[in-house]
């Protein structure tokens, strides 16, 4: 006998069960917290930096801090499943950094950022980087209250990633092709990756960079300064 309280349209075959989509509920809750972060950091430009493991995020953060420390007050929240090594690397070059240890989770969630804000001094900070956990899949789904999302794609990873992980590139404003000094030695096409990425997201900007020889770093720093200025203009309006 069927359950009279269950609409016929929702009745399931024998031996099956309908499960609630808890992922959607989680993302809704995450978006609520992300909104609170935006309200709290309305005077700070927040950049969510994403990539696969080993793409050079931390090295880029170090180089950025060195180049812009005389112009901008920078802080970094560093996500990592276990260790504090990346935050230590930041502090060694004078960057205000705090590690978010996710306890094995493959991404940072907005509630982690909100908790971390109580433990880092952001007084006078112009630019806050959130260095996400190395992963091109899960972090794409979680808004962290950022103003901009930047995705690094190393030349050593192959140029097919925008179509394989489209959501990450769809939700980013800028793609950085890192380790560009290796382009002559690896099968990676700037033209192909740009074409694929812009088929996913026509508005995506692209800068090719190398922290080893400095190529593209000035363009990256100029992009950041423009975004910080734009955020200040909005907050003062």
Note the pLDDT tens digit of each residue in 187-207: 999 999 999 999 999 999 999
Listed in order, strand segments (DSSP E) in 51-204 are 74-80, 96-101, 127-131, 148-154, 174-178
Q: Is the pLDDT of residue 50 over 60?
A: yes
| Residue 50 near residue 172 (C-beta atoms within 8 A) | yes
Lowest mean pLDDT among 12-21, 48-57, 149-158: 12-21
Q: In whole angstroms, give the CA distance from residue 213 to residue 173.
A: 25
Q: Check whether 61 has a pLDDT greater than 70.
A: yes
pLDDT tens-place string over residues 203-220? 999 999 999 999 999 999
Beta strands in the chain (DSSP E): 45-50, 74-80, 96-101, 127-131, 148-154, 174-178, 205-208
Task: Look at residue 26 in the predicted model and tell me its pLDDT.
Answer: 80
Q: Between residues 1 and 186, which one has the greater pLDDT?
A: 186
Query: What was the pLDDT predicted at 1?
Result: 43
pTM of the model: 0.87
Is residue 2 scored above 70 in pLDDT? Answer: no
Number of helical H runs and strand E runs in the chain:
8, 7
The kind and range of the H/E element at 220 are: helix 217-236
Per-domain residue ranges for the chain?
43-227
User: If you count them, how many residues does the chain have?
Assistant: 237
Q: Is the pLDDT of residue 9 over 60?
A: no
* Mean pLDDT confidence for 165-177: 97
pLDDT-based confidence at 234, cuts 50/70/90?
Answer: confident
Distance CA 237, CA 5 (A): 55
Pick the CATH number of 43-227 from 3.40.50.300, 3.40.50.620, 3.40.50.720, 2.60.40.1080: 3.40.50.300
pLDDT reported for residue 102 = 75
Mean pLDDT of 59-80: 94
* CB-based burial, 207-237: b 16+ in 10 Å, e otherwise: bbbbbeeeebbeebbebbbebbeebeeeeee
Q: In the prediction, which pLDDT does 207 show?
A: 98
Q: What average pLDDT does this structure show over 161-173?
A: 96
Q: pLDDT at position 90, please?
A: 84
Compute the radius of gyration of the chain from its Cα atoms: 20
DSSP string, 32-44: HHHHHHHHHTTTS
Q: Name the token pair of 186.
A: 């690896």
Q: What is the mean pLDDT of residues 109-122?
A: 93
With a cut of 60, say whether residue 163 has pLDDT above it.
yes
Average pLDDT in the chain = 89
How many C-beta neighbours within 10 Å does residue 83 have?
10
Question: Nearest CA to 52 among 119, 112, 133?
Answer: 133
Q: What average pLDDT does range 81-100 have in this prediction? A: 83
**Residue 17: its pLDDT value, please?**
47
């Amino acid at each position: 006998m069927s359950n009279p309280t269950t609409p016929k349209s929702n009745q399931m075959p024998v031996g099956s069960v309908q499960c609630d989509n808890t992922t959607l509920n989680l993302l809704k809750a995450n978006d609520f917290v992300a909104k609170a972060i935006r309200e709290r950091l309305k005077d700070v430009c927040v950049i969510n930096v994403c990539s696969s493991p080993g793409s050079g995020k931390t090295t880029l953060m170090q180089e950025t801090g060195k180049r812009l420390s005389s112009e901008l007050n920078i802080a970094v929240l560093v996500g990592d499943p276990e260790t504090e090594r990346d935050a230590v690397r930041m502090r060694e070059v004078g960057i205000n950094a705090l590690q978010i240890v996710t306890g094995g989770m493959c991404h940072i969630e907005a509630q982690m950022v909100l908790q971390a804000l109580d433990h880092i001094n952001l007084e006078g900070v112009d630019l806050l980087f959130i260095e996400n956990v190395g992963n091109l899949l899960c972090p794409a789904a979680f808004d962290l209250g950022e103003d901009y999302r930047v995705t690094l794609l190393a030349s050593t990873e192959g140029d097919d990633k925008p179509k394989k992980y489209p959501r990450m590139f769809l939700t980013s404003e800028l793609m950085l092709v890192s380790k560009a000094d290796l382009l002559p030695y690896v099968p990676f096409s700037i033209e192909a990756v740009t074409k694929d990425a812009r088929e996913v997201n026509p508005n995506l900007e692209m800068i090719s960079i190398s922290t080893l020889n400095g190529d593209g770093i000035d363009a990256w720093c100029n992009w950041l300064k423009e975004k910080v200025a734009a955020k200040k203009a909005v907050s003062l309006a």
